[in-house]
Each structure stands twice: as C-alpha cells, then as structure tokens.
A = this chain, B = another copy of it.
C-alpha cells in the first residue's frame, strides 16, 4: 500500500528520523528497519516513544530483534522487554546469546521475569513456547456484567480479550470458553457459565507441536486456544496470529526441506555466505555419497557397457523419469500427511494406489520413448544398430519398471520417515531422486540382460 513511503537512505540526524518514523504504522517501520543493516537500524530507536518501540518489537517480522534490543540503553531495553507481549519477548530471549539473556532477564520487572522464565522452559515450536500468559480468565460464579467490567480494567495488559476462559473458583480448572461476542450480547445479570456455549473447550497440552496447534485452531475456527496442564488449569493461550506466523514458517520449512536444504527461518538476503554454504553443503555432500552408488552400479555393469554403448544413451532419460515420478508422489504425500488427509496406518492403501499409477505413467512414457527411437531410426537421424527394435523395447520396459518403482518409493518414504519419528517433509526431492537413480540403473541393466542376451549382450 505504501511502497512509495520507503525511507531508503537513513537521515543524518537520528532524532529527526525517529520523528518521521513514529508517524508510520508499526509494520511499516519494521519493513524499513529490516531493509537496513543492524547498526543503521538501531540509530533512531532510542528517540522513538516507548509505546512505539513496544509495538515494533512485538512484530515477529522484525529480523535481528535480539541484536537490536541489545544495542539500546539497558534501561530502555528492560522496559521494552517487560512490557511487550510475553510470548514474543520469550522468542527474543531464545535467540539471544546466553550471557546477554541471563543479564537482561535479571533487569526485567518481576512479573514479566517470572512469566518469561516459565515460557523459556518449553521446547521451541511447541504450544508452550508459542503461548502467552496474558489472557483473560474469570471464576465461574461471576455474572456477565462483572466479567465485562473486569475485561475493561485489564484490557491493556492482555494479548486478546476476544476469548474469555471460565474457571472453577477453587480448583482453577478450565470449565468453559466464552467469546466476547457472546458476552456483549448476553443479559448482564446472567451467570457467566450460562452465557458460554454448552461444550468443553478445545484445548492443547503445552508439548503439542505448533503444526498440530495450527490444525486445531483452523479446524475449530478459534481466535485463541487455551494451553492446559494435566490438572486442566490454563497455562496460557495461543492466538490465531501466532499461528498464522507458524503456518507460514512451516510452509517455508516444507518447501526448503523438500528442496534438500537445511530449513531455517532467516530471510534469504540475511543468510551470510558461510552460513549459506553450511545450509546446503551438508545435504549436498550426503546426496553425493549416495549418488556414488550409481558409479558403483555402472562399474558392476561395465562389461555390458563396453559391449553395448548404445544403452548408455538412454541412462539419463530413464533415471530422471524415475526421479520425477518419485518427486511427484512425495510432494503429494508430504502435504497429505501434513494436512491430516492421510494417516500413517493408511500406508498400504497408498501403496496399492501408487504402484498401478506409477506403472501406468511408466507405460505412457515407455510408448513415447519407443516411438522416439523408432522415429529417429526409421527417418535416419541416428543409427541405433541392427537390434534397434530390441533396444527400444528394453528402454520402454525399463521405463515401466523405473517409473513404477519411483512412484512407490516416493510415496512410501514420507511414511517411513514419519514411522521412525522424523518429519515426513524431510523426504526431499533430491533424496528421492538419488534413491531412485541407483535402483533405476539396476532395473535398466537387468531388463537389458534379459531382453538383449544373445544379441547385443
């Protein structure tokens, strides 16, 4: 909307620039800061009003928030971290070097410090780590009017007031969730429990993975989901905007892993040269070692290769077709598993679908392949030798086998990974291709040995 409002060149005077920035929306200030290097971005910050600073650091889109905050005077940094939302402050502490984190934690206001220390204890990317403790809860013996009064009082210190949690006044266990929507249309004198929908609230344990939390929130169209302990007491809430960020991050992770890159959430331009090499060299090296088996397979068939060099012409074609069909099957099943369309126990149903699909697709490519060889031979473009027809049939038959095998392996790999506790999305296209390449060579030469024995071989 405001693309023309970019302040690309930082002003010479940080105070003047801060005054200009303060007039923009927090998200737009974040965009501007993200476009600069950290040193420059930090300059105008101390001159911004505290409320604006809190809003800026509350944006998960701010890159290097953990570096920027440490460049501010420590007093100011402590005030920002104490008053911003606890879940986002926890994220920032997660990214900080441990020394700095310990020092800053000690300077926080007591309430913030204890809340953030609790949140830091949960593993990253779980409901516990995503949640905020700034939610509204009221005892079950209150009326609608009492609840509404309470909300008006605490509104400024709560991340959301659209979901209100009604708890047992003594045991503090969760009984019902009420939306602000129902509350404002309710009879003010009514007991809050009668205002609530007559259903147990959907909840998440603190250890639940962010992907599953996202699925629950989406499935039930919630604005916030309560995170409860085993005693069913509310520890915090995860709001829908936290989940949107989580879903986008998962999407990036899925595509990157599928591409064979170690996933990370840093924007492309912020990844240094060394880090970029590190992110890619690991997988590339492992795949290379795997792919070396193709050289071993070829060496194994080197006698056949010497006798029938014509066979080598089609090696890339056959191998890549297997890899492509495998990559198709993998991409379909990674998402089907991620979205819950398909369950682990369905693996045999998928195998029974993928094998015929793959064989049919292989036959389709086989026909094209045979036609291509025949066409070149008959029209005189190239001479595949006196046994060209047998060579063509070998290529066609190998394609059926390799593409069928590719679809089967490509579809089963995400299941195998999930079964042994990995993310199914770790089944990358290059990984599947490598697997299928080695097997594809063996299939191709085996078919050749059967069909060409006594003629070419």
Contacts and interface: CB of A to CB of B under 8 A. Distances in A.
Interface residues of A, number: 113
Interface stretch (A89-97, A106-114, A117-125, A328-336): A328-336
Interface stretch (A76-84, A168-176, A251-259): A251-259
Interface string A295-337: 1001100100110010011111101110111011011111110
Contacts of A331: 255-256, 258-261
Given A284-B328, A291-B316, A429-B430, A341 B255 contact: no
A81 B193 CA distance: 32
A341 B268 contact: yes
Contacts of A332: 256, 259, 261, 268
Which 7 residue pairs across A and B have the least CB separation, nearest first? Answer: A259-B331, A251-B251, A267-B341, A268-B336, A294-B316, A429-B429, A324-B430
Interface of A: 1, 25, 27, 59, 61, 148, 151-152, 155, 161-162, 180-181, 184-185, 199, 202-203, 214, 216-221, 223, 240-241, 243-245, 247-248, 250-252, 254-256, 258-261, 267-269, 273, 276-277, 280-281, 283-285, 287-289, 291-292, 294-295, 298-299, 302, 305-306, 309, 312-317, 319-321, 323-325, 327-328, 330-336, 339, 341-342, 346, 349-350, 353, 356-357, 360-361, 364-365, 368-369, 372, 382, 403, 428-430, 433-434, 437, 441
18 contacts: A1-B203, A25-B199, A152-B185, A244-B247, A248-B339, A251-B254, A258-B259, A258-B429, A267-B336, A267-B342, A269-B349, A276-B357, A277-B357, A277-B364, A280-B325, A280-B357, A284-B321, A327-B428
